[in-house]
Amino acid sequence: MREGNAPLVRREDYLAPAYWIKTVDLTFDLDPAKTLVINKMTVERNADLPEQPLRLNGEKLNLTRVMVNGEPATFRVEDDCLVLENLPAGEFALEVRNTCCPEKNLELSGLYTSGGGFFTQCEAQGFRRITYFLDRPDVMAVYTVTLKGNAKKYPVLLSNGNLLEQGELPEGKHFAKWHDPFPKPSYLFALVAADLVCREQKIKARNGREHLLQVYVRAGDLDKTEHAMRSLIASVAWDEARFGLALDLERFMIVAVSDFNMGAMENKGLNLFNTKYVLANPATATDVDFAGIESVVGHEYFHNWTGNRITCRDWFQLSLKEGLTVYRDQEFSMDMAGDASARAVKRIEDVRGLRQVQFPEDAGPMAHPVRPDAYQAIDNFYTATVYEKGAEVVRMMAKLVGREGFARGMTLYFQRHDGQAVTCDDFAQAIADANPHSELSARLEQFKRWYSQAGTPRVTARGHYDLASQTYTLELLQHGLPTAGQPNKAPWVIPVAMGLVDAAGHQIALQLEGEAQPSGTERVLVLHEAQQRFVFVNVPAAPVPSLLRGFSAPVVLDDGLDEAALFTLLAHDSDPFNRWEAAQQLGLHRLLARVRGELDQPLDEAFVGALRAVLRHATLDPAFKELVLTLPSEGYVAEQIGHDVDPQRIHAARESMRRQLARALHDDWVWVWETQQPSGGYRPDPYSSGQRALVNHALSALVLDATVRGDTVWPGRAYQRVKDAGNMTDRAGALSALLHANAELAQPALERFHALFKDEPLVLDKWFAMQATACEHNGRVFERVKALTQHPDFTLRNPNRARSLLMMLFMWNPAAFHRTDAAGYVFWADKVVEVDAFNPQLASRLARAMDRWRTLAEPLRSAAREAIARVAARPELSDDTREIVTHALAD
């Protein structure tokens, strides 16, 4: 298949670079309209390869001069490359001078301006928009950087590493000179020049070394930096304690910037963050925001070792750093959360995210292996598959070698590869070699199919109990569905953590045929063939199997359990993940029955009673209760149906069930509201966050039930909370309760909320997002979103703001977006094209909202295809967006 403009880059075509760049000395004369960059490199030919021209990448640059060893050089510029031939044999000095225009850079890649300051974003290929360079991760150089700029406008001048000197310059300018002792690829370069203030703290590492930690923000935001700093301190301590990885720099800086395409960026010693993942205080940020900050601060900090000290050989290896670092940030959040129950809550949330985003990706037109084989625009491969499924692959390795074994593997990985640019194979090899007697070592080549095969494996489990022989036989089967370019799949290595529960809820001791005696009540069965049989002996009565505990592998499991078995697991399983999963299955069955049959069938008392038992349970965690009481999302239900999906009907089914549950559990929700509120001042810890989540869920149910019955007491209480809540979690919870009930008080509450927070950009993002995700009713949400694009506070230029309205509608409000009159799709196409003209990365993310169009029912499917084709027909489309729409339309 021939794709759009950009050629396909293939993993198989990897070649080592023809030249190495050893050192870089950069000088920036910063000016928003025209910044001068002087780039002095020492370069050396790669002696392993035949002699060839040096081709440096450069994009949207004005080249002013090129010198080799101090003499003007002959060169040519072709295809965004500066080409030099007949270069000296040994090491030589190469100087390039160019200018660029930061204020016109709306793509937010390279050097750009935001809020009057200068910021950079170089991953994956932004450095070439700053100066000519070998812009690929396997070329690692030592950087020295001098920044010059107006002292009043840009009092803070930062770059990677350590500050060497700073001082005044003529004409009101000043300078700062930085040096980073660690060789690094260009994607980890960063600079900041802006009017910022910082919170700072000195810490002492275990080895007694002192470090300076700093969090830089705009002047008014200093009161929102405490949590980020706390999270950073905790991250430093955690990596040292869990993996023996210490901070290797004297100074570690975080800088918040409000215009940013992604979450944050791990530049060496100078992490740049979307403000969303730094700024928080109880008045402006929710519990979810606080948790997000902790995990992203951890994520970027952990990259210092997994990504920066050991980096990727090429971009196909992206999951080497991202999958591993997501695994590390998930583990960090779990360790911070504390007890087993809080850890399970975090695991459930992560799996929910994986199923809602990565599973559909694996089933759609953008399906790709964790280590992709080809791309047109690398920015399109910063995906849930590379990140979240990549993390699951690391998690499975850890499961197969054990916690200690995994720590040994990490140590070996750093012994072997510190300072290198390596591959996913190198990582897996190190973990296996450190654990020679493990199941991972025994089946390493097969295990690595997780890196090469796209698509979510299907596992089927069927059990048979034989009373006479007291044996339980568990049959496990696996198969993979075809994905683009991969019609057939070979078996994966799938760790299936499991236990057996008896009817009274006791865990049965496990003894496999051939074992001398039972040991433990939980096992990891390793499924590696298409079909395998496991026979448990000395099983006194028919058990209920609890399979894939803790979601031990990223697969779709058909365990064939009947309702009675699911009720047993929900009530008794020792594995909290599978308890939650049983409730999801029970809820799903009922939702599907409504989608397929009568919308308003009565809810059975068995289900309501089981949920009530969880809700009223004396010892279960409130956060866990809230998760169990939350029905599967509309998107998840759509994926289960898989074809001829009618989002309106799914919405109607889920709403009817939500109303029935609100009614049936009315008194229980009142009890939650009256007795489960957290006491004391606000703290974003997992326990009180869980309490607030449960209480907000209660309020939402009570407001919904009251609105249905025309009662005004609960809506009135919610409105009161919007006015006077003591923290943003409760305030936003109350507002969203009104919006999800379509209560009359929703409108005045929205106005109130806006008036209170009109000067807080991150809160305004919530205000837009809540309206875009409000409960669909007679097409009103879509009309509102369209109107909001004209609101004075709305702009497409700021990615957070654009996402808060558009992405929320396209991705997270299916019933409002998928309209039979196709107005949603027309709007989608218009916005994708409009954004693509200035920010292709953002546009291609919006474009992906249509990935699953083929699963829609008619007439939606045809209307969707037409809208995608309309976008694809635009000749001026970016490579990013072109790649997405081309894949979407390919058969």
Which residues of the chain form contacts with ligand TRP (CB under 6 A)?
Answer: 121, 123-124, 261-262, 264-266, 299-300, 322, 379, 382
CB closer to Zn ion, 124 vs 846: 124
Q: How far out from the chain centre does Cα 183 lie?
A: 28
Q: How far is the CB of 369 from ligand TRP (least distance, A)?
A: 19
Q: How far is the CB of 123 from Zn ion (least distance, A)?
A: 9
* Residue where the block lists tokens 């699963």: 855
Find which of ligand TRP, Zn ion, none residue 382 binds, CB within 5 to 8 Å per kind: ligand TRP
First-to-final CA distance of the chain: 10
Q: How far is the CB of 506 from Zn ion (least distance, A)?
A: 43
Q: How far is the CB of 491 from ligand TRP (least distance, A)?
A: 31
State how far the alpha carbon of 831 is from the alpha carbons of 786, 814, 854, 868, 877, in Å. Answer: 11, 17, 21, 12, 13
Q: How far is the CB of 63 from ligand TRP (least distance, A)?
A: 25
Q: How far is the CB of 760 from ligand TRP (least distance, A)?
A: 24
Omega cis (within 30) before 859: yes
Find which of ligand TRP, Zn ion, none residue 379 binds, CB within 5 to 8 Å per kind: ligand TRP
Find which of Zn ion, ligand TRP, none residue 308 binds, CB within 5 to 8 Å per kind: none
CB closer to ligand TRP, 124 vs 829: 124
CB closer to ligand TRP, 182 vs 260: 260
Q: How far is the CB of 377 from ligand TRP (least distance, A)?
A: 10
Tell which residue, 105, 104, 138, has the closest CA to residue 14: 138
Q: How many helices (H) and strands (E) does the chain have?
A: 31, 31
CB closer to ligand TRP, 573 vs 836: 836
Find which of ligand TRP, Zn ion, none residue 124 binds, CB within 5 to 8 Å per kind: ligand TRP
Q: Identify the helix (H) or strand (E) that includes residue 204.
A: strand 197-204
Taking a C-beta distance cutoff of 8 angstroms, is the pair 199, 215 a contact? yes
Q: At residue 511, what is the residue type?
A: Q
Taking a C-beta distance cutoff of 8 angstroms, is the pair 629, 611 a contact? yes
DSSP 225: -
CA gap 324, 389 in Å, rounded: 10
Q: For residue 110, is it left (φ>0), alpha (ψ between -120 and 50) or beta? A: left
CB closer to ligand TRP, 401 vs 807: 807
Q: At residue 218, what is the residue type?
A: R
CA gap 739, 746 in Å, rounded: 6
Q: How far is the CB of 276 from ligand TRP (least distance, A)?
A: 13
Q: Identify the helix (H) or strand (E) that includes residue 399.
A: helix 390-417
CB closer to Zn ion, 325 vs 456: 325
CB closer to Zn ion, 322 vs 668: 322
Instruction: Please provide the DSSP assignment of 700-764 as one string.
Output: HHHHHHHHHHT--HHHHHHHHHHHH-SSHHHHHHHHHHHHHTT-TTHHHHHHHHHHHHTT-HHHH
Taking a C-beta distance cutoff of 8 angstroms, is the pair 797, 106 a contact? yes
41 bridge partner residues:
24, 94
Find which of ligand TRP, Zn ion, none residue 262 binds, CB within 5 to 8 Å per kind: ligand TRP
CB closer to Zn ion, 232 vs 770: 232
Find which of Zn ion, ligand TRP, none residue 668 binds, CB within 5 to 8 Å per kind: none
Tell which residue, 3, 123, 1, has the closest CA to residue 879: 3
Q: How far is the CB of 378 from ligand TRP (least distance, A)?
A: 8
The two beta strands, 251-257 and 270-274, are parallel
CA gap 82, 75 in Å, rounded: 7
**Using CB under 5 A, which residues numbered 314 to 343 contact Zn ion?**
322, 325
Q: How far is the CB of 244 from ligand TRP (least distance, A)?
A: 23
Token readout for 370 is: 């964790």
Q: Identify the helix (H) or strand (E) that includes residue 527.
A: strand 523-527
CB closer to ligand TRP, 572 vs 803: 803
Q: At residue 99, what is the residue type?
A: T
Q: What residues contact residue 276 under an 8 Å CB cut-off, 6+ apart?
A: 263, 289, 292, 762, 765, 800
State how far the alpha carbon of 585 is from the alpha carbons of 500, 592, 617, 620, 858, in Å. Answer: 18, 10, 20, 20, 28
CB closer to ligand TRP, 121 vs 317: 121
DSSP, collapsed to helix, strand or coil, labels residue 195 as coil
Backbone phi and psi for residue 503, each to the nearest 5 degrees, phi listed first:
-60, -30
Q: What residues contact residue 414 under an 8 Å CB cut-off, 6+ apart?
A: 245, 305, 309, 310
State the CB neighbour count (10 A cutoff) for residue 340. 12
CA gap 751, 181 in Å, rounded: 53
Looking at the annotation, which residues are catalytic? 300
CB closer to Zn ion, 323 vs 587: 323
Find which of ligand TRP, Zn ion, none residue 211 binds, CB within 5 to 8 Å per kind: none
State the CB neighbour count (10 A cutoff) for residue 493. 24
Total length of the chain = 891
Q: How does 475-485 read in b/e, with b if 16+ C-beta sit within 10 Å?
A: ebbbebbebbe
CB closer to ligand TRP, 301 vs 827: 301
DSSP 368: -
CB closer to ligand TRP, 127 vs 682: 127
**Using CB under 5 A, which residues numbered 171 to 190 contact Zn ion?**
none
Q: How far is the CB of 235 from Zn ion (least distance, A)?
A: 13
Q: For residue 419, is it left (φ>0), alpha (ψ between -120 and 50) or beta? A: left
* Residue where the block lists tokens 């606000």: 682
CA gap 725, 584 in Å, rounded: 32
Q: How far is the CB of 559 from ligand TRP (least distance, A)?
A: 34
Residue with CB nearest ligand TRP? 262
Residues that bind Zn ion (CB under 5 A): 322, 325
